Structures are given as C-alpha cells and as structure tokens.
Structure 1
Amino acid sequence: MLSHSKLGFGLMRLPKDENGVIDQTQVQTMVDLFMHNGFTYFDTAYAYAGSENAIREALVKRYPRDTFTLADKLPAWKLKGPEDVERVFQESMEAAGVDYFDFYLLHSVEEKHLPTYEKYNTFDFLKEMKAKGKIRHIGFSYHDGPELLEQILTRHPELEFVQLQLNYLDWENEVIQAKRNYEAARRFGKPVVVMEPIKGGTLAVLPPEAEAIRKQTIPHTTPSSLALRFLAEKEGVMTILSGMSNGEQMKENTATMRNASPLTETESKAVAAITRSILSADTIPCTKCRYCVAGCPMHIAIPDLFTAYNSQRLYGEHARYQTYYNKFSSLGNPASACVACGQCEGVCPQHLSIVSLLKTVSEAFDH
C-alpha cells in the first residue's frame, strides 16, 4: 500500500472564525506545519462542509501532488438515485482540485447505510474508479459491530483498509466495540485507519479526578500524547487521524508522533485508572461530529448543548455552563424544543438515544 505518515490530519473540525466560516489562513498555517514535520496524510469528506475546498486552497494548490496523500468519502445519506454516486464523486474531485484520490472510502458503512451502498452498486463503482486510476486505494469507515464488519469484509475482499473509531476510553465499550472491531479487521489482514483517537477532544482535557491520576503517576506525559501513543503501538494501525483545530494541537500531536514510543507498564496502568475514573461519571459520549445538526427541524445545536451538560457533570455546577447552554440555545433552540422526530438518531455514529438525552439536558438547564 502507498507510503504515508502515521499521523493523519482529519479535516472534520477545521478552525472557524466568529462567523462560523473556516479560517483559511489558520488552515494554511497548520498544513504547512504538518507537512514541515514530515506528515502527509489528509482526510476529508463530502459531508465535511467546506473542508474539500479548504484543503484545495491550503494544500493541493501549494504542494506537488506526489508529496501528500488525500482521502475522501462518499456518503450514503446524500445518495437518492444511482446517478448521485458519480455526481458526488466528481463534485468531491472538483472541490478538492485533484484528478485522483489516494484513498477513497464509503462513509460510515453500517446497518442503516449498507442497503443504500448495495442498492446503488457503490462497491463496483469504487473498483471501476480504481481501475481508471481515479482512486489508488479503496476502503470504508465504520461505526457498527464486529459481526457486520466481518460480513462486509467477507463479501468484499477488494476493500483494502477500514477506518475505525479507536481510543482507550472506547476500547472496551459495549456500544462502540472498538477492540472487537479492531480485532476483526486484523483477522482479515486489513490495515486500520484510526478516527476519534482523542474522542472529539474528550481525552485532551481530562476531568479533574482523571487529570489528578495522570499528574500523580505519569506527569511527564500530556493527555493527548497518551491517547495517541496508546494507538500508535497497535499492530496494523496505518494512520491515526486527529481532527486538529488549532496550531497548538498540531504542534503537540506532530511532536508526539515523530517519535511515538510504546506505553510503559506504568503508563498503561495509568490509562486503565483514567478510563475507570472517566467512565464513572454519568456523561453523554458525544464526539461532536455534528451529523445530527444539519437535519434537525428545530435547529437545535445538539453537540453544544451536550457539551454544556457534560461539563456540568464532570466539573460541577457553575454559571458558565448555563451561560454556554444559553448561548447555543439562542442560536437555534433549547433542548426542550425537540419534537422527537428521530432524524438525529438515524445519523449518529455513536448510536446515542438523542431524543431521550435532550430531555435530560432540558431538565438540567431549561429553568
């Protein structure tokens, strides 16, 4: 498979200005820092609004095509007919400004999306585009269980790699099933691209009790470096994607991954203790992918309201969390405005019971 770097730049959470527009200047600075440190793997998607255009300007137009690798994804939820498959693919190529993708994935292949991918013959389409040289390597991202993963890999041996949500907090999670999915991919000999290694930032700023464990036992580490190194040592891990959204995150992660050493026994024990500590708190495991937001008929900023709730659960009641909640409620609607249509639950990669959770959040903040 094509040579690439162990750290990948995930483009789902690019920095934005106060108006919610991608900060192109900051993106360009981050791309330069990433490339300067010898890392070359960039991951975008048709569903990551504006990211394909942003990477065209910051990377594709400024660096020789053979100095970087670019991954993109085809989303089932944008396909309404067979003609949409090629249309979406071509739109992605034009937006990114390339004539081929190094890696191209079916986005979030799981039970609810797999029928769409099969109905519109997307697996054959990927093979056709690879034969034509428009795709170098084909694969898929995945948010379901190991049983279905093995079925897909059995039926489609042509798929060369799989992108999985892996991090130490989800490693034994019965819903995410990170470890079992990783083991399934390895049984089929498929390289693994890791997404959500820091779980949407959850593992970058640890709650007080978990942070105290880190400081007392392994003060030489940082929370983010610990999360990345936990995965870097796993056999078959091809690239670890980090959705970095500012220059400081980029500097820390590139420094970590330039010479990522395996966890020591002390560090592994600390990870286990930190995991137990975090999971003992009753929080919502939202990774802020924002897939739920676009289709919400009430325009509720669901991930942001969940952030307010989680912050209050982890750090105790404080006026700033109510202020944060009020800010994002005013931009759309509060949690109490939910009409229980279920659209959000149909697209959530974490399989959260969002309708019920919004009621819980409403009880905490809608006074």
Structure 2
Amino acid sequence: MKKLGFGTMRLPLNDPKNVKDIDVAQTEKMFDLFLDSGFEYVDTAYPYHEGESERVVRKALVERYPRHAYKLATKLPTFNLKEPEDCERFFNEQLEKTGAGYFDYYLVHCLTTDLYEVAKKCRAFEFVSRMKEEGKVKEIGFSFHDTPEKLDEILTDHPEVDFVQLQINYLDWEAPNVQSRGCYEVARKHGKEIVVMEPIKGGSLVNVPENVKELLNKMDPSMSIASWAIRFAASLDGVRMVLSGMSDLAQMEDNLSYMKDFRPLTDDEMKTVLHAGDMIRKTIAIPCTACEYCVAGCPQHICIPDYFKLYNERQQTLSHGKSKAYDELAKTHGKASDCIGCGQCESMCPQHLPIIENLKKAAESFE
C-alpha cells in the first residue's frame, strides 16, 4: 500500500461550530481523489465527530465503492466499556454504522495506563482476537498514548497484535509528555509495524513560526510545510502507514502530491526537521492537538481546544487585553473560569496535559 492514510477525525464541516454537521459532498470528492490516486487506507473511530464519522464513511465511501477498493480501520471504544459484553455490542453497532461487512483493521482504542486496566477487565484483546478468528477482522492492533514502559508491558502481554498505532511527529519525537521516539523504539523492539497518527499534531506543524518556515523552505521551496511532517513520519523504518486528518480538498491534494511517489527524507533533511521541532517546542505554550476528546464530557461545556489555540496565538504575538474571538466563543460555551476542576478532561487527554491549570492561565489572560 501507498503510505498515506485518510484519517476521518477532522472532516470538512458545513457549520464550523457543529462537529456533527459534516460536509458530505466535499467528503465524497476527497474520497474520490484519494482512491483514484491509488490510496486505500481509511481510518475512523466510534467517537470521531461525536459519533458521525463512521456514518459518513458509510455514505461517502462504503455505499459508493466496491468493498475491495479500500481498506477500513476502526476502533473499539475502550472509554465506553463497562463489562465484557460491551465489546460485542459496540462492534456490531460499528458494523451497522459503517455497513462495511468486516474491518480490515480493528484496534483497541487509545490505551493509557488507566484504559489498559479497562481493556483487561472487559477482555478487549480476547474479543478482537476472536473477531479475527471469525473473519470479521483481518488484522488487530491498538492505538496508544502513554509511556514507552507501558507500551513495552502491553506488547509483552499481547504479542498477538499485528501492529500498533502511535503518535509520531518531529515535534513530539523528543517531547517528554509524548515520548514519540521512545515509543517507536519499543514497538520496533517487539517487531511490530507502526501506523502513525497525529503526524502534523492537529495542524500545529502547518502553522509554524516564521523562522521555522524559512528553515524548511530553504531545503526545498517547492514542498509544502505540511509535507515535511508527513514525510518525516513516513521515512521511519517500520512505519507502514501515516494517517492524515485532512479537512478539505486542498489538504487532500497537497498530501497526495508528495505521497503519490513518496521520497524518504535524506539524513540531512531528517536532522534539519528534528532541529525545526526543537525550535517550535520553545514557542508552544500548550501542546494541544485539538482532538476534542476532552470536550464531550465537560459538565461546563467549555470549548477547551479553542481557548488553548487562542492562548497559544496570544503567547506568540505577545498581545494582551480583551479578545473578540474569546468573547464570541464564551457566548455559546462555558468560559475558561467556569472550570470546576472535576478532572474529566485530563483523564481523557491523549497528550496528558494539565488542562485545569492551563484553563486558569487562559482565564487570567482573556477574562
């Protein structure tokens, strides 16, 4: 397979304020271009777009193409499991929502230290293995957001998995809260192939500081800024697929332009890109990827990623005072200062961010 996968976590929207209102017509055009260009790996999950992603995959892909034309990955929603019987219930619901008949790849979703305990209690790995034996799944794996030590434990416990999905990008390669390099090395030690998620870190490796943009453009001005992030991940040994959460047709066209005939980074390019990551890390106050896992269960309805994005922009420009963008968001959502410190968001955050403390900083800045 070509190494670019279509991640359906950030599909185009008709209404930017409503993540469930997906622009199906544009999504269909994106799938058409993706498949016509020889690509086939499509990744979705139960909670993406608050449950709508799997349904839109059915409308825009499954109902419009023969089953052999694509390979579909989705995930067992570990955070929704309460008892072993839930595994089959969610799996059957996903089969119905996607209409796919079977899944080429099925993952235990978003394993952390806490969610691995849930997976063990609900016998999630035993379930996905049974689905593979029954032919309802072709390959099994898990997505992971924790330390290299925890990854080593899980892979030691479950050598039966075919692959592992990791957050890898040149910004997080040496970041202490993500430890991309450490996790990558553990997966390779266990002989597992890797699917990469968040190669552009929620878009933050597109809108890079000006000095980083100059550094990357100096290497090759014909390449987009995003291309360096995607190609960095795809150049790593053992990476079978790099998922890109493309949000419009232009992003799709850009990604296909350099992944259709993929050229790995040279050693010098790799060193330069990693240096760019060091430069960017010094400028980002809150390394949020805007995955929105924190938002759904917030009792105060705080739009956490939006406030963090505004805060990061403010820190880079050194501006202060009232913010029209913040005030507009606060009209329809809880303010940053409305946080009650329940910790629900932090338990869901794949980046392990101190969200409660960061909301206090945002409140102090904007309110």
Structure 2 counterpart SS, 1:284: coil
Q: Specify the code of the residue in structure 1 equivalent to 2:138.
A: R
Distance change in 2, residues 1:218/1:283 (3 Å): farther
Measure, in 1, the Cα distance between the counterparts of 2:215 and 2:320.
23
**Contact 2:345/2:355 (CA < 8 Å) preserved in 1?**
yes
**Contact 1:193/1:241 (CA < 8 Å) preserved in 2?**
yes
In structure 2, what is the equivalent of residue 239 of structure 1? Answer: 241
Which stretches in structure 1 are left out of the alignment for 5+ residues?
none
Measure, in 1, the Cα distance between the counterparts of 2:7 and 2:139.
18
In structure 2, what is the equivalent of residue 163 of structure 1? Answer: 165
Once structures 1 and 2 are overlaid, which stretch shifts more, 272-281 or 118-127?
272-281
Measure, in 1, the Cα distance between the counterparts of 2:214 and 2:318.
16
In the TM superposition, 1:242-261 aligns within 5 A as 242-261=244-263
In the TM superposition, 1:1-367 aligns within 5 A as 4-18=1-15, 20=18, 21-48=21-48, 49-317=51-319, 322-366=323-367
1:282 deviation in Å?
A: 4.3
Q: Specify the code of the residue in structure 2 equivalent to 1:24.
A: V
Q: Specify the code of the residue in structure 2 equivalent to 1:152.
A: I
Structure 2 counterpart SS, 1:108: strand
Q: Specify the code of the residue in structure 1 equivalent to 2:264.
A: P
Q: Specify the code of the residue in structure 2 equivalent to 1:361.
A: A
**Contact 2:202/2:289 (CA < 8 Å) preserved in 1?**
yes
Distance change in 2, residues 1:25/1:318 (3 Å): farther
Distance change in 2, residues 1:155/1:272 (3 Å): closer
**Contact 1:218/1:267 (CA < 8 Å) preserved in 2?**
no
**Contact 1:15/1:23 (CA < 8 Å) preserved in 2?**
yes
Measure, in 2, the Cα distance between the counterparts of 1:109 and 1:25.
33
Q: Specify the code of the residue in structure 1 equivalent to 2:93.
A: E
Once structures 1 and 2 are overlaid, which stretch shifts more, 195-204 or 274-283?
274-283
**Contact 2:105/2:141 (CA < 8 Å) preserved in 1?**
yes
Measure, in 1, the Cα distance between the counterparts of 2:316 and 2:218.
19
**Contact 1:217/1:266 (CA < 8 Å) preserved in 2?**
no
**Contact 2:2/2:260 (CA < 8 Å) preserved in 1?**
no
Q: Give me the TM-score of the superposition, normalised by structure 1.
A: 0.95
Cα deviations by residue, 1:10-33 (Å, 9 ceiling, x for unpaired): 011111112620111111111111
1:151 deviation in Å?
A: 1.1
Structure 2 counterpart SS, 1:104: strand
1:220 deviation in Å?
A: 3.1
Q: Specify the code of the residue in structure 1 equivalent to 2:277.
A: T
Q: Specify the code of the residue in structure 2 equivalent to 1:364.
A: S
Measure, in 2, the Cα distance between the counterparts of 1:315 and 1:39.
39
Structure 2 counterpart SS, 1:291: coil
Measure, in 2, the Cα distance between the counterparts of 1:77 and 1:293.
14
Measure, in 2, the Cα distance between the counterparts of 1:257 and 1:276.
25
1:359 deviation in Å?
A: 0.3
Structure 2 counterpart SS, 1:329: helix
1:63 deviation in Å?
A: 0.7
Identical-pair percentage: 47
1:128 deviation in Å?
A: 0.9
Measure, in 2, the Cα distance between the counterparts of 1:365 and 1:104.
42
Which stretches in structure 2 are left out of the alignment for 5+ residues?
none
1:261 deviation in Å?
A: 1.3
| C-alpha RMSD of matched pairs (Å) | 1.5
1:357 deviation in Å?
A: 0.3
Measure, in 1, the Cα distance between the counterparts of 2:205 and 2:26.
23
1:324 deviation in Å?
A: 2.1
1:274 deviation in Å?
A: 1.9
**Contact 2:83/2:121 (CA < 8 Å) preserved in 1?**
no
Q: Specify the code of the residue in structure 2 equivalent to 1:338.
A: C
Cα deviations by residue, 1:299-334 (Å, 9 ceiling, x for unpaired): 000000001011112234288x92222222222111
**Contact 2:166/2:196 (CA < 8 Å) preserved in 1?**
yes
1:216 deviation in Å?
A: 4.1
Structure 1 counterpart SS, 2:214: helix
1:266 deviation in Å?
A: 4.4
Measure, in 2, the Cα distance between the counterparts of 1:250 and 1:301.
27
The count of corresponding residues between Structure 1 and Structure 2 is 362
1:157 deviation in Å?
A: 1.0
Measure, in 2, the Cα distance between the counterparts of 1:5 and 1:219.
24
Q: Specify the code of the residue in structure 1 equivalent to 2:66.
A: P
Measure, in 2, the Cα distance between the counterparts of 1:215 and 1:322.
32
**Contact 2:82/2:122 (CA < 8 Å) preserved in 1?**
no
Structure 2 counterpart SS, 1:206: coil
Measure, in 1, the Cα distance between the counterparts of 2:221 and 2:133.
51
1:265 deviation in Å?
A: 4.4
